[in-house]
C-alpha cells in the first residue's frame, strides 16, 4: 500500500472540499454500505430478501463492492472490471466501501492518507449512530464525540516519556505454570480489561490494601506487557499471590487453566473498586457477568417455574468419549443448541407448585437471559471414568467461528420463536448487532492430562499471534480456527451502555470523597468537643 509520499495524486483530492467531488462520493458510499449491511441483517431476522448490488460489467452479485469515486459505476475486483472501468473512463480512484481503502489507477496500488482515514471513520460512526436504537427506549444512539485533552490532561502529560506499547510479550514458565500464562494472555488481550487497567483505574502504587491484591498484580502485569522491554516477563508475584489466596492451586504441579481462570476472576472481583455482594458492578462483573434462566415446565398443568442465576462463563459438553478417535466432530453452535434444548427430569426431581403433585412429565430448559460483554466458553475435555479412576481427555475437534451470533440462545428470542408457530415470523428485538460477538482469544491443551501443555492464540488489533510461554509467533486466522480449543473468548461487537450514566470508578471516587469529608467533619467535631470540655473544666 502506498502512503502519502508514494501517491502524489491523492494529496490534491484530500485537500479539497469534502462536500463535493470524490471526497463527497467517498463519504456517501461508505454511509450507503453501513445502511445496506444493517438492512440485510434486519431482513435476515425477518426472513425477507433484500436487493444486492451487482457488477456494472458482468452483473455478478457484489458482496464487497468497489465503487468509482467519479461516477455511479460499481464493479468487482477479482475480474479486474473496476480497474478496467477506471482506465477506460480515465477516472483516478475507486473505493472498497467495506474497509474504506482507496485504489489509485495511476499508482496501480491502494493508497493511504490520514484525512481519508478520518473521513471514513466519521462516516461509519455517523451512519451507525443513525441506524442504532436503544433496545428499551427506542431512542437514537448517543452521538460520538472525539476526545479532546483538557487543561488537567495536558498538565498530567507534562514531562511524561512516551514508550512503544507493543502489547505482545511472552511470559516465563515458572515451573509447570503454562496454565497461568495462557489465562494471563487472555486477560491482556481482553479489550475491556486492557482499557480498565491501562486507564489507571487501579494503581498498585496507590492501593490501600497491604498485600495479596490481585488487582495490583493485574496493574503490574499490564504495565510490564505494554512496556518497551522485549524479553519475556516472569509473573512471579502474581503466582505467589495466587498461592496465598488459593491453596488448591499452590505448588509446582500442573493445574487446570479453567480453574485458575475462575479463581482469578473471584480474586480480582474481591479487590477491585465497586465490588459488592449484590448487583456488583466491578470490572469483572462488568466484563464477564451474564444471567442464565432455567425454565421448568410441568406438562401436567403447563405451569412454568423460572429461576435466574448469575454466570461468568459457560461450560459445554462435547460429543464423543475419552479415548475415542477424533472422528466425531463438534461445533460451538451445536454445543450451544444441546445446552439450551429441553431436558427431561425424573418424577422425583420436581414437584409442581401449581398442581401439587410430582409430575411424571417434566422438562427443563436453559437460556441466556442477559448476554455479557465478553463470553467465555469452556469445553469439557476432561471426564471422570465410571469407576472413579483417573480422568481422561476427550480429543475430539470442536469447530468454532470467528464471529458468533448468540440471538438463538437468548431467553427473549427463544420465547419469541415458540410463538412463531401461532403467528407471523418474529423479528429480533433491538438491532441485530447487540447479539454479535468476535473471537479474540483461544486456549488449547496439547497432550494428555498428566503430561499436557497449554498454549493460546490471541488477537492484537487485526493480527493473530500464538503464545507458547516465552515464544510469540505470528499466526493466521485459519490456524486459530483449526486448533483444538479448550477455552474460547468472544467480545461483543457493539457494547451495550446507558447514556448519561456515571462510570463506576467515578461513583466510587465520589463516594470516597464523601467519606473523607465525613471523617474530617467527625474529627473537627471531636476537636470542638475537646475544646468545650477543656473550657468547662476551667470554669
* Catalytic residue IDs: 178, 453
- Antiparallel, parallel or unpaired: β 330-331 and 471-475: unpaired
Q: Which long-range contacts (CB under 8 A, 24 or more apart) does 340-348 make?
A: 340/365, 340/366, 340/367, 340/368, 340/409, 340/414, 341/365, 342/297, 345/296
Compute the distance between CA of residue 120 and CA of residue 33 in angstroms, rounded to an integer.
Answer: 12
CA 449 to chain centre: 29
| DSSP per residue, 161-195 | ----------B---SS-HHHHHHHHHHHT-HHHHH
Q: CA-CA distances (angstroms) from residue 441 to 32, 198, 235?
A: 32, 19, 20
Q: Which long-range contacts (CB under 8 A, 24 or more apart) does 42-47 make?
A: 42/427, 42/432, 44/432, 45/407, 45/427, 45/428, 45/432, 46/425, 46/427, 47/425
Given a contact cutoff of 8 angstroms between Cβ atoms, the answer to whether 103 and 109 are in contact is yes
Look up residue 274 and give its three cell numbers: 465497586
CA angle, 447 as apex, 187 and 403 as ends, to 5°? Answer: 45
Compute the distance between CA of residue 85 and CA of residue 426 in angstroms, rounded to an integer.
Answer: 43
Look up residue 217 and give its three cell numbers: 498484580
Compute the distance between CA of residue 448 and CA of residue 400 in angstroms, rounded to an integer.
Answer: 22
Compute the distance between CA of residue 335 and CA of residue 328 in angstroms, rounded to an integer.
Answer: 13
**Helix (H) / strand (E) containing 15:** none
List the beta bridge partners of residue 94. Answer: 68, 103
Given a contact cutoff of 8 angstroms between Cβ atoms, the answer to whether 380 and 316 are in contact is yes
List CB contacts of 429: < 8 A, sequence separation 6 or more: 135, 412, 413, 416
Compute the distance between CA of residue 330 and CA of residue 186 in angstroms, rounded to an integer.
Answer: 23
Amino acid at each position: 500500500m502506498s502512503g502519502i509520499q508514494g501517491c502524489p495524486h491523492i494529496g490534491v483530492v484530500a485537500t479539497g472540499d469534502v462536500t463535493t467531488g470524490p471526497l463527497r462520493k467517498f463519504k456517501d458510499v461508505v454511509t450507503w454500505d453501513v445502511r445496506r449491511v444493517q438492512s440485510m441483517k434486519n431482513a435476515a431476522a425477518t426472513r425477507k430478501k433484500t436487493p444486492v448490488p451487482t457488477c456494472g460489467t458482468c452483473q455478478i452479485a457484489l458482496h464487497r463492492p468497489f465503487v468509482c469515486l467519479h461516477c455511479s459505476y460499481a464493479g468487482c475486483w477479482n475480474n479486474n472490471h473496476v480497474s478496467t472501468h477506471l482506465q477506460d473512463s480515465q477516472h483516478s480512484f475507486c473505493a472498497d466501501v467495506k474497509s474504506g481503502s482507496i485504489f489509485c489507477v495511476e499508482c496501480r496500488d491502494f493508497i493511504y492518507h490520514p484525512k481519508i482515514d478520518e473521513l471514513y471513520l466519521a462516516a461509519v460512526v455517523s451512519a451507525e449512530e443513525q441506524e442504532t436504537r436503544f433496545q428499551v427506549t427506542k431512542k437514537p444512539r448517543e452521538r460520538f464525540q472525539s476526545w479532546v485533552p483538557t487543561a488537567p490532561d495536558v498538565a498530567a502529560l507534562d514531562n511524561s516519556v512516551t514508550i512503544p506499547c507493543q502489547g505482545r510479550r511472552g511470559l516465563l514458565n515458572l515451573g509447570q505454570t503454562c496454565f497461568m500464562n495462557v489465562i494471563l494472555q487472555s486477560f491482556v488481550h481482553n479489550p475491556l480489561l486492557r482499557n480498565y487497567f491501562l486507564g489507571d483505574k487501579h494503581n498498585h502504587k496507590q492501593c490501600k490494601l497491604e498485600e495479596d491484591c490481585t488487582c495490583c498484580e493485574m496493574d503490574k502485569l499490564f504495565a510490564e506487557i505494554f512496556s518497551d522491554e522485549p524479553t519475556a516477563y516472569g509473573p512471579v508475584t502474581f503466582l505467589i499471590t495466587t498461592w496465598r489466596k488459593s491453596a488448591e492451586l499452590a505448588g509446582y504441579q500442573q493445574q487446570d487453566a479453567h480453574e485458575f481462570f475462575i479463581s482469578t476472576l473471584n480474586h480480582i472481583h474481591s479487590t477491585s473498586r465497586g465490588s459488592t455482594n449484590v448487583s456488583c458492578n466491578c470490572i469483572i462483573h462488568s466484563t464477564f457477568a451474564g444471567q442464565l434462566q432455567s425454565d421448568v415446565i410441568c406438562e401436567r398443568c403447563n405451569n412454568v417455574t423460572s429461576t435466574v442465576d448469575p454466570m461468568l462463563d459457560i461450560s459445554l459438553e462435547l460429543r464423543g468419549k475419552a479415548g475415542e478417535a477424533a472422528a466425531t466432530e463438534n461445533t460451538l453452535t451445536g454445543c450451544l443448541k444441546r445446552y439450551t434444548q429441553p431436558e427431561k427430569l425424573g418424577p422425583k426431581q420436581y414437584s409442581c407448585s401449581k398442581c401439587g403433585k410430582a409430575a411424571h412429565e417434566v422438562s427443563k430448559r436453559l437460556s441466556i437471559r442477559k448476554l455479557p460483554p465478553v463470553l467465555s466458553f469452556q469445553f469439557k475435555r476432561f471426564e471422570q471414568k465410571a469407576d472413579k479412576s483417573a480422568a481422561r481427555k476427550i480429543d475430539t475437534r470442536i469447530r468454532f467461528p470467528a464471529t458468533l451470533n448468540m440471538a438463538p440462545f437468548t431467553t427473549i428470542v427463544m420465547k419469541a420463536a415458540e410463538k412463531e408457530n401461532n403467528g407471523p415470523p418474529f423479528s429480533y428485538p433491538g438491532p441485530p448487532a447487540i447479539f454479535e460477538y468476535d473471537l479474540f482469544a483461544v486456549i488449547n491443551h496439547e497432550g494428555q492430562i498428566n503430561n499436557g501443555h497449554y498454549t493460546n492464540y490471541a488477537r492484537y488489533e487485526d493480527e493473530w499471534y500464538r503464545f507458547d510461554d516465552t515464544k510469540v509467533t505470528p499466526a493466521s486466522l485459519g490456524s486459530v480456527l483449526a486448533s483444538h480449543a479448550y477455552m474460547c473468548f468472544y467480545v461483543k461487537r457493539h457494547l451495550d451502555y446507558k447514556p448519561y450514566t456515571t462510570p463506576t470508578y467515578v461513583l466510587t471516587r465520589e463516594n470516597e470523597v464523601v467519606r473523607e469529608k465525613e471523617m474530617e467533619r467527625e474529627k473537627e467535631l471531636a476537636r470542638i468537643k475537646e475544646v468545650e470540655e477543656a473550657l468547662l473544666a476551667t470554669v
